[in-house]
Amino acid sequence: MKLLPPALLIAALSSGATQAAETELWRLDCGTIAVKDMNAFSDNFAYRPAPKTLTNSCYLIRHDGDYLLWDTGLPLALLNAPTDPEAPMSATLTRDLPAQLADIGVTPDRIGRIGISHGHFDHTGQAATFPQATLMIGQPDLAAMEETPPPFGFDPATLNHWRTGNGAVEVVTGDRDIFGDGSVTMLSMPGHTEGEMALLVRLEKTGPVLLSGDVVHFHEQIGAKSVPAFNMSRAESLASMARLEEVAANLNATLVIQHDAADIAKLPAFPQSAK
């Protein structure tokens, strides 16, 4: 067999290589949640009793010409709803997802996939706005939608389109490489719910970005090892919190805690994107 000269061999190998997909990430505003006492998120009473406002963030990821929406925020019924400072938790929404997508020229029908970090209503609220999208959700959380009554925080009606067989569903168990090239990966991190997921997005210029889902709700939880009493498992929650930190450290990734308002500034302000 005649061997190719090195220069021709390199050229031949290069011609068969696939070009890396262009990946882009936007942070979208999906509402706010006023919490009367931070200890609602701590089963070990780690905090001084004090109110805290959580942000509710969603994210749009472009993978070449494909669009993935990560979480769909609070329901439209809460659009411009007043908050009640005396309620344990009170949520409101100021802009819906289609209005924000219009700012960057993306119509709802272009969303090919919806990735759900977990089944709570503040992450599934506007899913029905994108009926053509394939729903990607952890298998235990999809199954929990059928329980009577459903677990705390679940609103099965938000996913009725997919639960009734009218929409495509991709059930996720374990970690899932969404596009098959390592650029966007759902990471299994149970505890808050049994199907809880985080999302790792690898960007060419920004580097890896790790979106927390509800593995943690704000940074203080990590140091205090505090777990909301409504989580499904304390042990799994702590293990997933540790994995979240380890992944961020090992990849030198930007960790974005989706409910922590302090982390909004870690990504460009909408309508700008991270690349």
Report d(CA 248, CA 187) in Å as an integer.
12
Residue 3 has pLDDT above 80, yes or no: no
The 10s digit of each residue's pLDDT in 56-93 is 999 999 999 999 999 999 999 999 999 998 999 999 99
Is the pLDDT score of 191 beyond 80? yes
The percent of residues above 90 in pLDDT, for the chain, comes to 92
What is residue 19's predicted lDDT score, i.e. its pLDDT?
Answer: 63
Q: From CA 32, how far away is CA 246, in angstroms rounded? A: 28
Tell me if 26 sits within 8 A of 271, measured CB to CB: yes
From the CB of residue 273, how many other CB atoms can be counted at a distance below 10 Å?
18
User: Which of the two residues, 5 and 35, has the higher pLDDT score?
Assistant: 35
- Predicted pLDDT of residue 20: 83
Q: How many CB atoms lie within 10 A of CB 224?
A: 14
Superfamily name with CATH number, domain 21-265: Ribonuclease Z/Hydroxyacylglutathione hydrolase-like (3.60.15.10)
The yes-or-no verdict on residue 15 having pLDDT over 50 is: no
What are the distances in angstroms from CA 154 to CA 62, 85, 122, 193, 197? 28, 23, 9, 10, 15
CB-CB contact of 118 with 213 (8 Å): yes
Q: Is 18 a residue whose pLDDT tops 60?
A: no
Could you tell me if 131 and 162 are in contact, meaning their C-beta atoms sit under 8 angstroms apart? no
Q: Which residues contact 112 (CB under 8 A, 6 or more apart)?
A: 66, 67, 68, 132, 133, 134
Residue 200 confidence (pLDDT) = 98
**Residue 85: predicted pLDDT:** 86
Mean pLDDT within 185-207: 98
pLDDT for position 2:
36
Q: Smallest Cα–Cα separation from 139: which of 177, 173, 168, 114? A: 173
Q: What is the mean pLDDT of the chain?
A: 93
Instruction: Please report the pLDDT score of residue 7 as a whole number.
Output: 41
Q: Bigger pLDDT: 48 or 130?
A: 130
Kindly state the average pLDDT of the residues 20-32.
96
- State yes or no: pLDDT of 104 exceeds 80: yes
Instruction: Find, among 257, 254, 258, 259, the residue nearest to 274 by Cα.
Output: 254
pTM of the predicted structure, to 2 decimals: 0.92
